[in-house]
Amino acid sequence: MSDFLDDMRRGPRKIAVTGHFGSGKTEFAVSLAFALAEAGCDRLALCDLDIENPYFRSRERKAELEAAGVRVYSDPFGGRNGSELQTLDAAIRAPLDDAGCRVICDCGGDSAGAMVLNQFGKYFQDDHRLLCVVNANRPGTDTPEKAADHLRAIEGATGLRVTGLISNAHLIRFTRPEDVIAGWRFTKDVEALTGVPALAACCMRELVPALAGESFAVFPIGMYMRESYLDKQV
């Protein structure tokens, strides 16, 4: 088990994931849930809080996640009808109230999407993680200064401090090891501007061996959301 994953497994049980629209935060949140389940977290929940202009929806992977032992919470319909109603199931509070349950909250993109955390503010006053996914290849965060401003906007909207940065400079299946390395360096520049530590760099599993000699933590990310989205009729 990687040091990063072990830290996610043993650290604060409430983990909220935010980031720029299209940064890959939902893919990261779902990948983290699967990885924690595989690592032996027997009481684990994923709360899909992305109700502000959702793009990828972690609730669409409910069947696979629950088969892996991850309980999924989302809208009042449990994601069954593909609803994009801006509403959440009150049952989301159950895993947040359960001191024995590790919870991943997949929040909406940008500061507007992150504001949903305000509904659950009392759960994030104690020990928690607020992770911000940084993607150097998104137009709104393509300089360290823009990424830092984006992070501060999330903090301003939620009243919470971001506690860690996740580098995800993906180019989908065209991503090369050097892209991951460049993305990590970019995220370290954001760390220098904000004081928020960079924790890990995401990449697809097949790239992990090529990055084995790097000094940073590498987190294998899946392609759980992308293919299902491309299959949809528009």
User: Dihedrals φ, ψ of 93, to 5°?
Assistant: -70, -20
Q: Which of 192, 183, 190 is nearest to 219 (CA)?
A: 183
User: Dihedrals φ, ψ of 165, to 5°?
Assistant: -110, 140
**Residue 82: is its pLDDT beyond 90?**
no
Q: Are strands 14-19 and 102-107 parallel, antiparallel or unpaired?
A: parallel
Report how far residue 209's alpha carbon sits from residue 141's, in angstroms, rounded to the nearest whole number. Answer: 28
* 11-36 confidence digits (pLDDT tens): 999 999 999 888 889 899 999 999 99
> Which domains does the chain possess?
3-78+85-230 (3.40.50.300)
Average pLDDT across the chain, whole number: 87
Mean pLDDT of 53-59: 65
